[in-house]
């Protein structure tokens, strides 16, 4: 299989690079910049991409790459910090920009040398997204300049003989008008890719790998009923059949009636299904906790303990399977990247688990790829296109301490929001939408009396990959219906606000 290796230097857009490569039908993986050269040889990539990062290459202790990488004969594309690293490592010089005009941030008009393979087929001029305060003062021998802006002559460099390319801007973000085409050019024109990556191929490969790894062992799947764990269940069922047992832990933090709906959906399928009602147990563990990372880690550990108990009842279960996907891994911290939030099934796992191994067959897939795999596995569209719901459930949509009273309040409000959006025909246009019970209380008036109740936040976004997202434009009349119904029907809420923040700088979930 054709592979692209993405070496991670801790930049905020690194996951988008992987997403864009996959969109071009080429398989890729993100690995730390410390990946040994021998492991790179084993990985056998047709090309390597250096990501951006927050450091400056001339600083002591800044992330560096083994110089032997440049002797492998593999094409390299350096992006932002990766471009500067490429220049510095090969004999050039990178310095702080001496003038404010040489620092570039945001949308920047850029001129391209279309004779370079990277810019082949592009207009001579378009907009690129800059984010750098350093300057390539001296370009390495063998390199030529292939793009410039008004402020910077050294926007892109190329050594066509060695197939090394660097760009100061970020082609992976949508603000760079022809960014995906640039990445495609690197993959196809420089690396010689043929575009063989597909979900049908992944399905067959994953099933073979699961069978080889599990053998005759038994697997317990942590089934939440969401898209990821449902697709994981279908994949494992096709691979190992009766060796799989699906355990649904109802932690009391599901949406309205969701536990019963999940049980009904999977009880009809030919798989071993177990439901564990553990509301009291989880709420007890969460009592007094308000820090979001603590809540996620508590829920992650308690899930594991429940699964261990169920495994003992079944006897001799070797593997714990989870529907972990790539964004979970990336946001929980990978390589030099910062931890955005510990997902309960990644960063929230305890140090010790009573299973031989953790099985995560989807952990290199993005959300839309998981949905496509579900279709390949024959799952119904209603399940494949289902609204995402985080494993910790309402615990991370209740800001501050979690109580049963707050969970019941949020359940009602969230149901009303989703119900009105569906009836108004808005739900099909949205990628995710939900309510958040904030820990802010405010004065209101109902009837002739004063109230001092909770503020409820509404959140709705549109996205292709859940790594970035735009807040959704919902008609005012629909938002008004939601506000009126919630304030009138849900006790304890007297104010409704709508979140108009995109990701980044926010995340989709509030915690």
Question: Catalytic site residues?
Answer: 80, 170, 172
Alpha carbons 435 and 425: distance in angstroms, whole number: 18
Q: What is the DSSP string of 235-288?
A: HHHHHHGGGEEEEEEE-S-SPTTHHHHHHHHHHTSSSEEEEEE-HHHHHHHHTT
Write the CB contacts of 222 (distance below 8 Å, at least 6 apart in sequence): 229, 247, 249, 303, 307, 320, 321, 322, 323, 345
d(CA 484, CA 482): 6
Place of tokens 């246009």: 429
Q: According to the 3-state scheme, what is the secondary structure of 408-426? A: HHHHHHHHHHHHHHHHCCC
Q: Tokens 């929230």 appear where?
A: 348
Question: Rounded to a whole number, what is the largest CA-CA distance in the chain?
Answer: 80
The two tokens of residue 353 are 């688990």
Q: Return the exposure string of 344-371: e unless at least 16 CB atoms fall within 10 Å of the residue's CB, then b.
A: bbbbbbeeeeebeebbbbbbbbbbbbbb
Residue 208 is encoded by which pair of tokens? 């073979």
Can you tell me which residue has the tokens 């699906």?
Answer: 246
CA distance 387 to 384: 9
Strand pairing category for 3-8 and 47-50: parallel
The Cα–Cα gap between 56 and 297 comes to 33
Kindly state the DSSP code that residue 428 receives in the 8-state scheme.
G
């Amino acid at each position: 299989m054709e592979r692209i290796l993405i070496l991670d230097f801790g930049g905020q857009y690194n996951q988008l690079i992987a997403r864009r490569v996959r969109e071009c039908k080429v398989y890729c993986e993100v690995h730390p910049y410390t990946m040994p050269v021998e492991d790179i040889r084993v990985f056998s990539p047709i090309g390597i991409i250096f990501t951006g990062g927050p450091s400056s290459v001339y600083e002591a202790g800044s992330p560096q790459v083994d110089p032997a990488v440049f002797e492998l004969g593999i094409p390299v594309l350096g992006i932002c910090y990766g471009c500067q690293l490429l220049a510095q490592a090969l004999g050039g010089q990178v310095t702080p920009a001496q003038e404010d005009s040489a620092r570039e941030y945001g949308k920047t008009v850029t001129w391209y040398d279309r004779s370079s393979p990277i810019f082949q087929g592009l207009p001579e001029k378009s907009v690129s997204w800059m984010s750098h305060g350093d300057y390539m003062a001296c370009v390495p021998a063998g390199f030529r300049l292939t793009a410039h802006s008004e402020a910077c002559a050294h926007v892109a460099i190329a050594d066509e003989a060695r197939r090394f390319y660097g760009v100061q801007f970020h082609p992976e973000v949508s603000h760079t008008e022809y960014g995906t085409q640039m990445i495609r050019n690197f993959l196809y024109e420089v690396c010689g890719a043929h575009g063989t990556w597909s979900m049908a191929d992944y399905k067959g490969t994953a099933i073979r790998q699961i069978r080889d790894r599990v053998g005759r062992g038994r697997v317990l799947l942590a089934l939440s009923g969401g898209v990821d764990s449902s697709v994981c269940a279908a994949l494992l069922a096709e691979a190992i059949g009766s060796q799989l047992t699906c355990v649904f832990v109802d932690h009391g933090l599901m949406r309205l009636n969701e536990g019963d709906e999940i049980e009904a959906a999977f009880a009809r399928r030919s798989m071993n299904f177990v439901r564990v009602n553990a509301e009291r147990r989880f709420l007890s563990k969460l009592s007094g906790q308000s820090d979001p990372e603590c809540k996620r880690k508590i829920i992650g550990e308690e899930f594991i303990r429940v699964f261990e108990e169920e495994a003992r009842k079944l006897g001799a279960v070797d593997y714990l399977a989870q529907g972990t996907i790539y964004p979970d891994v990336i946001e929980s911290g990978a390589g030099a990247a910062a931890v955005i939030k510990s997902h309960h099934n990644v960063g929230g796992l305890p140090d010790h688990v009573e299973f031989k191994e953790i099985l995560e067959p989807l952990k290199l897939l993005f959300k839309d790829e998981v949905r496509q795999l579900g279709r390949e596995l024959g799952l119904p569209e209603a399940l494949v296109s289902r609204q995402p719901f985080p494993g910790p459930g309402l615990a991370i949509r209740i800001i501050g301490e979690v109580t049963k009273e707050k969970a019941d309040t949020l359940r009602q409000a969230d149901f009303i929001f989703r119900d009105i959006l569906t009836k108004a025909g808005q739900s099909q246009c949205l990628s995710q939408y939900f309510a958040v019970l904030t820990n802010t209380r405010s004065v209101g008036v109902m009837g002739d009396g004063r109230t001092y109740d909770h503020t409820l936040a509404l959140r709705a976004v549109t996205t292709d990959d859940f790594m970035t997202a735009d807040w959704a434009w919902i008609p005012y009349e629909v938002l008004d219906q939601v506000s009126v119904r919630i304030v009138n029907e849900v006790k304890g809420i007297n104010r409704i606000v709508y979140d108009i923040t995109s990701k980044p700088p926010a995340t989709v979930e509030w915690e």
